[in-house]
Amino acid sequence: MKQLTPAARLYVTAVIAAATAILAIRIPGMTFHQPWLFATLFVLSCASAAMKITLPLTTNVSTMSVSYAIDFASLLLLGWDQTLLVAAASAFSQCVLNSKDRQPLYRTLFSMAALVVTVAGAGVAFEWLSAPDGADAITAVARPLVGAATVYFLLNTGLIAIAIALASRQPIFNIWQTNFLWSAPSYFVGAGAAWLAAWSINRAGFWVAPLTFAPIYLTYRTYRVYLSRLETQQHLQETSDLHLATIEALAAAIDAKDQMTRVHVRRVQAYAAGLAEAIGLSPTEIQAVRTAALLHDIGKLAIPAHILSKPGPLSPEEFAKVRIHPQIGAEIISTIPFPYPVAPIVLSHHERWDGTGYPQALKGEAIPIGARIISLVDYFDVVTSHRPYHAALSTDSALALMRHEAGRALDPALVEIFIEKLPEFASRFEVQNPAQSTGAPAVASAPAGAEPNAFENIALAHQEIYALYEIAQSMGTTLTLSDTMALVADKLSALVPWSGCALFLLDAETGELRCRCAMGDEAAALLDARMQTGEGLSGWVAQHRRPLVNANPRVEFEAAGVPPSHALASAIVAPLQLGERVIGSLALFDTAADRYTDDHRRLLGRIAEQAAAVISNALVFEQTQEDSLTDPLTNLPNRRSMMARLTSEISRAERLQGELSVVVLDVDDFKRINDSYGHAVGDEVLREVAHVLLGSLRSYDMCVRFAGDEFVVVLGDCPPDAAELKRQELQRRIQEIAIQVDGSVIRVGASAGAANYPHDGQTYDALLATADRRMYADKAHRRNYSLQFEPQPEPWKPPVSGAVRPTRPN
């Protein structure tokens, strides 16, 4: 009884106790005046109990036997005291004999007790309703007989119905009405047969008794045949439901390959069946539409996942691959012997009303009606659902689009009926599927602590393949590091949940990790943060080459020297490796505690494996791009970089009606320095000049190594007089440079010329030409001035050891 509810246990105990009390009271006073009759009825009741019918209960197994008529005859012939024993034995036989499964003891005792209580109640009713002497013969028989039969029926079925209802927590009346009310005629037929048998025995003897039980046997056979047919129909329905459920599960699994939600096929099926009913199709045709709605996309098994999940337009080759799925689906369906046409509907569900569809380019009424229905409903569901290649439309926008496509892609008559009936379809679907009434995409990952269901696992598997495919594709392109990280983060979000993301790259020379990219929560705090290998989460992962799962993000922030985040509660970090070389680590953070699982670790590991090569390519591209725009000797921008910057500054000044200036500088006597002291000293002179120039400019000015010993300075928002002052300042600062070479001191000078936009020119070439001309004029002036007023410097002496020690100006 442990599996019963407390109320059911209490009820069963009470019924058994009541029956025990009745027997304890009545047995001591029993007198067996007709022992042979009692023995005969006792044996017959036990034997007939094996002739039982299983009642069609939904969750419990109960039986009914013809022994009821024997028990009722015993009630009439022997009285209800002795019938208590006959009924109890009958119940025991019914539970034990010819039983497929062994009944629990409490159920057998309850069945015996229920019959004891029933017989007692029927016996009391019979005695109470019996007519006094001298009453009408019919009244004398009918009233107690009908009353006793009614009480017997109500008590017998009611006691069992209450037990079932309490055990299954269902309404008592519903159980009784559904499973027992239909058996009422058998009780009254049995009572009539029992009275006839009792009357025959009293009048003609025992030999006519068997004849009186013919109606009972016929009733038994009738119920037996009826219940057998009912069981057969139920079995067929269960088999049909099983087949349909199998089809639905298969369709949902197929749909999960390119859908973010499993509700698509169910909604298409419900709306398509509703539309088929609305236009008056036959039940067979409706079932064909219902089945085809589940299987219309089965041919997508032949379409690669990356094509189905592609967010952008398909190429002609990819679209040609997609177009074969109706034919493949029809071929698969044609092998299944459905009792209605399904394959033609699947084959034609991408045909268009105007004849421009595929695969057969059917037009108008030539398209099967079922295919037209599914095409319309599928069209509506697709445009109102979130897909990788488009956002969902509102219902009003979708209906407007369908009206536009009526007579083109869709059957115009069906469009109008569908629009009219849509509220009815939607409300019916929401009632039948309350948890699946929306078409929003499923979350990439199940909530914390929850396991994804089978369909989500299928979708996640295909998302994983597609994410790795896209990352692998990007390896052949020259992406910047920021673009690469944006791609990786975007693909990660579909597989591994995160609130914040950080990419740390390792400097192999210093052993330092630097956060080059950060997104999401705390991105500003982490960007450009640094830590040594072995420190923090990312440093530990880079050193040990093993991932960390559900680590504390505070450790990462403290190692990076930034205030710890109180919002982030868990972290997962994976190393980025190229072969045996570690190039950094990829860290994800989330606000939920213990957010990450071993499956997340596996996914992040696979993503990191692919991303490492992509990030390495991006770093190479970034370095190549930087080298193409940077002078390797001075680390200043080169001529190509200046062209883009100066052109941009001119456009900005023109747009804002502002000014800018350009200063061209040329190191004096640089050839003489190279010839006398060598190129190593000359290179040092250029580096010192670059250092001095950078130190004299504003943060938004630009200094460029333009040629061998020429430099160009771009001064934004600088009028001519300010440019002239800056020119003189730069010359003065350069003249303060003193470079010691083995006891000798090299003094450096520079000639300079300035030009202003828009006064001296309005183009890149014009400004440089003007500044260059003025620089050469300044060089000639400085040469004359030096010859006339400056003492001649001491002769240059070649260095002995080549040691160079620059003395920088304060």
Residues 359 and 329 sit within 8 Å (Cβ to Cβ): no
Give the per-residue pLDDT at 721.
92
Dist CA 432 CA 186 (whole Å): 38
Give the per-residue pLDDT at 60.
46
User: Length of the chain, please?
Assistant: 810
Q: Which of 9, 104, 91, 107 is nearest to 42 (CA)?
A: 91
Residues 151 and 133 sit within 8 Å (Cβ to Cβ): no
Q: What domains are there in the chain, each with its CATH number?
A: 6-225 (1.10.1760.20), 256-432 (1.10.3210.10), 454-628 (3.30.450.40), 639-807 (3.30.70.270)
* Cα-based distances in Å from 647 to 63, 252, 282, 355, 659: 97, 58, 75, 56, 13
| Cross-strand bridge partners of residue 703 | 713
Amino acid letter, residue 633: L
Residues 6+ apart with CB under 8 A from 509: none
In this structure, what are the phi and psi dihedrals at residue 395, rounded to the nearest 5 degrees? Answer: -60, -45
| Cross-strand bridge partners of residue 583 | none
Write down the residue that tokens 């109500």 correspond to. 154
What ranges make up the beta strands (E) of 406-539? 500-507, 512-520, 530-532
First to last CA, the chain: 98
Amino acid letter, residue 235: H
**Could you tell me the strand order of the sheet in which 660-667 lies?**
702-705, 710-716, 660-667, 750-757
Instruction: Tell me the mean pLDDT per 10 residues along the chain, length 810.
Output: 81 90 85 78 74 52 61 78 82 73 79 87 84 52 80 86 86 82 74 71 58 58 70 74 71 60 75 93 91 86 75 81 91 85 93 93 94 94 77 88 93 94 88 55 43 60 67 59 79 84 90 91 89 93 93 92 87 91 93 90 86 80 68 84 83 88 91 85 90 89 88 91 92 88 82 92 89 91 53 42 46
Residues 6+ apart with CB under 8 A from 100: none
| Cross-strand bridge partners of residue 704 | 712
Q: What is the dihedral of CA 714, 720, 726, 727, to 10 degrees?
A: 80
For residue 194, what is the DSSP state?
H
Please name the helix (run of DSSP H) or strand (run of DSSP E) that holds residue 321, with its range, or none.
helix 316-322
User: Cα angle vertex 517, ends 511, 520, to 5°?
Assistant: 130
Dist CA 168 CA 369 (whole Å): 46
Give the per-residue pLDDT at 457.
64
Dist CA 327 CA 50 (whole Å): 58
| pTM for this model (two decimals) | 0.46
Long-range own/partner contacts, residues 474-481 (CB < 8 A, 24 or more apart): 474/614, 475/610, 475/613, 475/614, 475/617, 478/617, 478/621, 479/614, 479/617, 479/618, 479/621, 480/618, 480/621, 480/622, 480/625, 481/516, 481/517, 481/615, 481/618, 481/619, 481/622
Dist CA 111 CA 89 (whole Å): 10
Residues 464 and 603 sit within 8 Å (Cβ to Cβ): yes
Amino acid letter, residue 658: G
**Could you tell me the strand order of the sheet in which 581-590 lies?**
530-532, 512-520, 500-507, 581-590, 570-578, 548-551
